Amino acid sequence: MRIDKFLWCLRYFKTRNIATTACKKGQVKVNGAVVKPSREVYPMDEVTVRKNQINYQLKINDIPPNRVGAKLIDIYRVDVTPKEEFEAQ
């Protein structure tokens, strides 16, 4: 699945267009490398997303079939963002 669609499916961005723009601006990294919106992601990839001055760090568990409800997000990813990222605000 494309990284822009993946981030939209997991509700990190409200629209897929916003997710695509974030990728083009260099705010999304997969395994430490800045990626284009068309980059394919796979289980066990590590994704970093810069949003609202916070660097969210995720590990992909599985690929969702489509956009998922907020309660089901944890099935598809593990949030490994350090607590210091949220306290810096």
Residue with tokens 């969210």: 56
Chain Cα centroid distance, residue 75: 14
Nearest to 22 by CA among 50, 55, 63: 50
> Across residues 77-85, what is the average pLDDT?
86
Element (H, E) at 54: strand 54-60
3-class state of residue 53 by DSSP: coil
Nearest to 17 by CA among 33, 32, 2: 2
Residue with tokens 């969702």: 64
Q: How confident is the model at residue 11 (pLDDT cuts 50, 70, 90)?
A: very high
- pLDDT of residue 88 exceeding 80, the answer is no
The model's pTM is 0.89
